[in-house]
Chains A and B, each alone.
Chain A
Amino acid sequence: MSTVGRGFAIAVIAAIAGFLVVPLLIVSAPVEPVMGVVQKIFYFHVPCAIMMFLSTFVAAAGSLSYLFKGAERGDRLAHAAGELGVLFGACVLVTGPLWGRKAWGVWWQWDARLTSSLLLFLILNGYLLARRYGGPAGKKLAAALSLFAAVDVPLVYKSVDIWRTVHPQTTVVPSLDPAMRPAFWASFALITLVWGILLTLRLRLEDARATVEELQLMVDDLAQDS
């Protein structure tokens, strides 16, 4: 097994161990007095939101290198990260309303944080759709869309500080009760590890697809020659 393959295997084992340990930390974390048990959704909801942001930034960085340097590898990285942005965005947009229904009494509020998060999720979906159905210019169109998605990220993050909203503010994590920190940071580490594993796996798929395209061209050339 190569060094990269060994590292990947260790990461997968660590992630499986994390999925066994982190829920125990979350259960043992103290119950928040105002919202009660439902606040425990926070331990996965926030890391998933951070991974959605990270995916968006990685997709934008890959798109930039593709648009300005013509780097195909950058485009492949952007595609992989864009898909992960949609995956973690879906996790955020499902766990959030579950938390909100219990804490606020409603599934959804058209406030700044929720609306801008939904917008980011839709732009990331638009990125994938443009790639798939955009025709010959689809990749460049999608790359431009991913830059717009990256611009939306700071807006999503600061929305709770700029506008009046029912969503908790950005001060929640820094001011977290010390007894809640181990559960949160362990959860964050686990989700980040899972994100890294998924990105590696997805990037391998993109690389394999590029190899298929190259080989297909080679087969076509050879078939014409013979």
Chain B
Amino acid sequence: MSMTRTVRFFIAQLARALPVVAALAAMLAGGPARAQEYVKVENVPREQLPAPQFVGAAYGFIMIALLVYVIVVARRLARTRGDIAELRTRVERLAGPGDRR
């Protein structure tokens, strides 16, 4: 008996909560149901994108990319040449004055 009462109570609570759950689900799904047909709208403003900004961004990117690359390679080259000079000095010191490798 007690079991039946518990089940009935549970079903009643579930029925009471159902509209709230449905409303929440609708909210999460994006509010009211979407239109199922397309309607013609007059005088909608066309999206205007400023072309010179796109052209400027494209050229700007290329210039910056090339410049950064040149700087990076030049720095790496300078560092490597520094390493060569240091290693040559070490070779000369280790080999002695008579040994020309």
| Residues of chain A at the chain B interface (Cβ within 8 Å) | 19, 23, 36-38, 40-41, 44-45, 48, 87, 90-91, 94-95, 98-99, 101-102, 105, 194, 198, 201-202, 204-205, 208-209, 211-212, 215-216, 218-219, 222-223, 226
Q: For the complex, would chain A's binding face be called helix, strand, loop or mixed by DSSP majority? A: helix
In-complex Cβ contact of A95 among B62, B70, B77, B95 (8 A): B62
Residue contact A215 to B77, C-beta cutoff 8 Å: no
In-complex Cβ contact of B65 among A37, A38, A45, A91 (8 A): A91
Is B88 on the interface with A (CB-CB < 8 A)?
Answer: yes
| Residues of chain B at the chain A interface (Cβ within 8 Å) | 47, 49, 51-52, 54-55, 57-59, 61-63, 65-66, 69-70, 73-74, 76-77, 80-81, 83-84, 87-88, 90-91, 94-95, 101
Q: For the complex, would chain B's binding face be called helix, strand, loop or mixed by DSSP majority? A: helix
Residue contact B73 to A198, C-beta cutoff 8 Å: yes
Residue contact A41 to B55, C-beta cutoff 8 Å: yes
Residue contact A198 to B58, C-beta cutoff 8 Å: no
Residue contact A45 to B51, C-beta cutoff 8 Å: no
| Nearest chain A CB to B41 CB, angstrom units | 18
Residue contact B58 to A102, C-beta cutoff 8 Å: no
A residues near B74, Cβ cutoff 8 Å: 201
